[in-house]
Copies of this chain bind each other. A is one copy, B any other.
Amino acid sequence: MRVSIVSIGDEVLIGQILNRNAAWLAEELTLAGCTLVEHVTIGDVAVQLTQTLDRLSLASEMIIMTGGLGPTHDDITKDVLTSYTNDLLVVSEGWLSHLHNWMRERGRQVTERNAGQALIPSRATILPNPIGTAPGLLLNHHECLLVALPGVPKEMQEITTHHVLPMLRERINAAREQRSEYVTLLTTGVAESTLADIIGDPTEFLGDCSLAFLPSYHGVRLRIGARSASPLTREQELWRVRDVLMQRVGTHVFGEGKQTLAEVVGLRLRELGQTLAIAESCTSGMLGARLTDVSGSSLWFLGGVMCYSNASKVRDVGVDEQTLVRHGAVSKEVAAELASGIRERFQSTYGIGITGVAGPGGGSEQKPVGTVYIAVSSPQRCVPIRFQFGDDRHVNRERSVGAALSMLWKELA
């Protein structure tokens, strides 16, 4: 199943907004077994969309468009699709009644402009959008499926998840063609090259499978791909390679698929009925923000201190002033006192302390920019670790958060 993606809208074309929709769609389509042909971003120009559809329909079995479905004059997608498929717009009574309900629930009336959202090409299938006013549209045109989705990310994702992907999976399975299926193992706390060394020569066990190393600040993802026409073979092959990898590097694997390290750590704390408090200096809130991104985090995250000044480290976390004087704020001793001090203060099961030189200023010969000390204090122990990251402030802070979560995850294992 060869699929192309077309993003429509001046705001994407001129770089006002980042094209997260295309990346999200591309990843989901790949995981569902599709082969991506290309993404194209164009402005709100009808003739350009027509030409793009003409061209892409030669090489694609499906074209997914996002954007341009709204009710204003610069929303061109529906009109272009109607004329492109030699169709007419007709009122969909079903969607009109959805619009009336939708507006009534919000204490509003359907305006003339809104009502236009119920005008649908007569041969199009409506892909219901439960959280917005513009439905997705599906049209079959000369052996190519045309799918138009709203540009609002949540609405696009909702329709894709509940209508587009199931249809694609069904077609792909029914066709029983060669296709790829994927499993992603999420590792943390181990460098890409070390992971590669432990795994050894992958050609010895991969067979027809593929293996990709995908690094991020929080760890390396291992994406296994199995290619076959048979769903059973794909599944068996994925399990076979997964088993080999788990035997070799399983101790570094914290999860699968789209889980985050903060979610996994939170879930584990919740299962254990344990709690966490944190003292952040150079990351000053980034770890807390990441932990509380997880819904329900108040069950296991008690809070913490952004001890950006020395005074705060002493007063709010209980670091000994003498330790600061003797070893400096960026030291393994201060990291350890931050972790155990915050744990004691919050009466939590675990405490994390982070102190470092994020840059660009503040580096010295002994402790250059990128030096970060992190400690996790548990009922059993408190072991600080020194990290040497690079010279980019933003990256150093991100990597510190990843390393802290990784250390806590190991402690919880």
Contacts and interface: CB of A to CB of B under 8 A. Distances in A.
A338 to B, nearest CB: 12
- Give the copy number: 2
Given A15-B23, A284-B301, A285-B289, 13 more contacts: A11-B214, A15-B28, A16-B27, A19-B23, A19-B39, A36-B43, A40-B41, A283-B292, A285-B286, A285-B287, A292-B397, A295-B393, A303-B309
Contact of A284 (B41, B55, B292, B311): B292
A297 B27 CA distance: 37
A25 B298 CA distance: 41
Interface residues of A, number: 70
A13 interface: yes
B312 A308 contact: no
A128 to B, nearest CB: 20
Contact of A305 (B20, B24, B305): B305
A361 interface: yes
Most B-side CB within 10 Å, residue of A15, A293, A303: A303
B292 A303 contact: no
A30 interface: yes
A48 interface: yes
Interface in A319-344: none
B25 A15 contact: yes
Nearest to A277: B312
Contacts of A389: none
A91 interface: no
Contacts of A26: 13-15
